[in-house]
């Protein structure tokens, strides 16, 4: 496919003058193959268009927020109806109470809800609430897990000081002995244990939670009085229609939600049990846009569709087709994939590709064929995807693997990625 990228290049040149580095955070394509566009002009269903008008089937779904597809007509109608009445007001709209009731009904452990904007707001409030509830300081997080961009949890320490994370310590995900040792080291100062629903760290194979790890985390919290926090920001409502750990029989005290529960409208939430109601009620929590009514209307409609449709089973079925089809196509061309994580949130990397040069080459070849895949971050399916989209992907993959096999000897590692992987590993 001949894709022009002139507009994107011009925008990047302008951006470099008025935005530090032209872009920041993981949405900066400096860490992706050179051909990846930085700017997108529109989206519809499972597709995005870059600033040059090139169209891609989008396996990133805005890094998670697009659950039913972009501009879902049902969700956007609910949002627009509220927009005609008002959005950011002097206080919350009645929708806040309805949304809190809805989430408390849907999420087993939740007795209450507080709303904010980004996942980082919710995880940071979880940390503060746990400390306020327990009167203790130490917070345990799994090594390599992402919980947001605030000073206590950012993976890139520039601009922070050691004191910002003085009481944040790590354990190894799924490793009961390491968790027990970290809890024991914390003595009588443990405020919280954080866990993601599954191990979805960048650059590595994803791991399902071991039942013994999840239940031991609960037991250790019960024993010490610490709060168990599940960070559902990325995986929430993509694994289950409520708490992701309910199927393991483990209920947290707090859970942080964001990304997809308003199908792309900006809202996040901290949900909690009565065990942490007092602590959460005592912290100072607010933001100018946290109580805006439009995203709440979108969330209520999104959650109705979550309850009433087969969106999840549909994504799982398509994800299963994608995984087995990609395995077969890769094999045909002499590649072995490492496909991990739930099929609806796939991580796709290559065997024997320590510096990701093969993965980058493949992502580039897929992009040229109109499929946006990521070489080192988990991806997302959305319910707007169809069997025809999977067919399109598998056909493109067949071509992309063939082209990659032809270029294999010329592939080189991406310099910024190598530096970033070194900085965040270990």
Q: Which residues bind ligand PMP (CB under 6 A)?
A: 63, 118-120, 123, 146-149, 196, 231, 233-234, 258
Nearer to ligand PMP, 54 or 344 (CB): 344
**Burial category of 396 from C-beta neighbours within 10 Å (exposed 0-12, middle 13-18, buried 19 and up):** buried
* Least distance in angstroms from the C-beta of 81 to ligand PMP: 25
* Least distance in angstroms from the C-beta of 200 to ligand PMP: 7
The contacts of residue 113 (CB under 8 Å, 6+ apart) are: 99, 100, 103, 104, 269, 270, 271, 272
Q: Are 54 and 385 in contact (CB under 8 A)?
A: no
Nearer to ligand PMP, 258 or 361 (CB): 258
Quick one: which of 253, 258, 390, 397 has its CA closest to 329?
397
Q: Are 195 and 228 in contact (CB under 8 A)?
A: yes
Q: How many CA atoms lie within 13 A of 156 on its CB side?
A: 9
Q: Are 28 and 22 in contact (CB under 8 A)?
A: yes
Nearer to ligand PMP, 228 or 326 (CB): 228
Identify the H or E element spanning 231. strand 227-231
Nearer to ligand PMP, 148 or 341 (CB): 148
Q: How many helices (H) and strands (E) does the chain have?
A: 12, 13
Nearer to ligand PMP, 51 or 260 (CB): 260
Nearer to ligand PMP, 260 or 396 (CB): 260
d(CA 197, CA 50): 32
d(CA 261, CA 267): 8
Q: What is the DSSP letter of 192?
A: E
* Least distance in angstroms from the C-beta of 136 to ligand PMP: 22
Identify the H or E element spanning 283. none
Tell me the DSSP string of 118-142. SHHHHHHHHHHHHHHHH---EEEEE
The strand pairing partners of 194, in sequence order, are: 229
* Least distance in angstroms from the C-beta of 55 to ligand PMP: 25
Nearer to ligand PMP, 142 or 276 (CB): 142
The strand pairing partners of 139, in sequence order, are: 168, 192
The strand pairing partners of 372, in sequence order, are: 58
Task: Tell me the residue number closest to ligand PMP, measured at CB.
Answer: 119
d(CA 93, CA 15): 37
* Least distance in angstroms from the C-beta of 28 to ligand PMP: 14
d(CA 160, CA 178): 27
Token pair recorded at residue 383: 């319910």
d(CA 274, CA 309): 30
């Amino acid at each position: 496919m001949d894709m022009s990228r002139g507009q994107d290049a011009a925008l990047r040149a302008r951006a470099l003058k008025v935005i530090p580095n032209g872009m920041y955070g993981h949405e900066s394509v400096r860490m992706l193959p050179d051909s990846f566009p930085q700017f997108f002009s529109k989206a519809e269903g499972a597709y995005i268009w870059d600033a040059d008008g090139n169209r891609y089937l989008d396996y990133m779904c805005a890094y998670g927020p697009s659950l039913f597809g972009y501009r879902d007509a049902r969700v956007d109608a609910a949002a627009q109806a509220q927009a005609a009445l008002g959005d950011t007001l002097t206080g919350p709209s009645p929708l806040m109470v309805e949304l809190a009731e809805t989430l408390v009904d849907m999420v087993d452990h939740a007795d209450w809800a507080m709303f904010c904007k980004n996942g980082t707001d919710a995880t940071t409030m979880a940390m503060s609430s746990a400390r306020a509830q327990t009167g203790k300081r130490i917070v345990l997080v799994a090594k390599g897990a992402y919980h947001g961009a605030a000073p206590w949890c950012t993976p890139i320490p520039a601009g922070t000081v050691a004191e910002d994370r003085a009481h944040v310590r790590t354990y190894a995900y799924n490793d009961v002995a390491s968790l027990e040792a970290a809890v024991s080291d914390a003595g009588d100062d443990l405020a919280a244990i954080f866990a993601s629903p599954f191990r979805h760290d960048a650059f590595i194979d994803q791991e399902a939670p071991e039942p013994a790890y999840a239940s031991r985390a609960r037991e250790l919290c019960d024993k010490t009085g610490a709060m168990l926090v599940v960070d559902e920001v990325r995986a929430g409502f993509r694994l289950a229609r409520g708490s992701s750990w309910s199927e393991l029989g483990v209920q947290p005290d707090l859970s942080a939600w964001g990304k997809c529960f308003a199908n792309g409208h900006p809202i996040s939430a901290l949900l909690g049990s009565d065990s942490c109601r007092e602590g959460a009620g005592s912290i100072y929590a607010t933001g100018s846009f946290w109580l805006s009514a439009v995203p709440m209307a979108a969330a209520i409609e999104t959650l109705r569709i979550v309850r009433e449709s087969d969106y999840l089973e549909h994504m799982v079925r398509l994800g299963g087709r994608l995984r087995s089809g990609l395995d077969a196509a890769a094999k045909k061309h002499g590649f072995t994939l490492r496909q991990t994580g739930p099929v609806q949130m796939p991580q796709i990397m290559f065997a024997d590709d320590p510096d990701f040069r093969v993965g980058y080459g493949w992502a580039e070849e897929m992009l040229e064929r109109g499929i946006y895949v990521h070489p080192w971050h988990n991806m997302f399916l959305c319910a707007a995807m169809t069997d025809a989209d999977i067919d399109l992907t598998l056909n493109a993959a067949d071509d992309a693997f063939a082209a990659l096999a032809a270029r294999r000897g010329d592939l080189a590692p991406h310099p910024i990625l190598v530096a970033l992987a070194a900085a965040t590993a270990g």
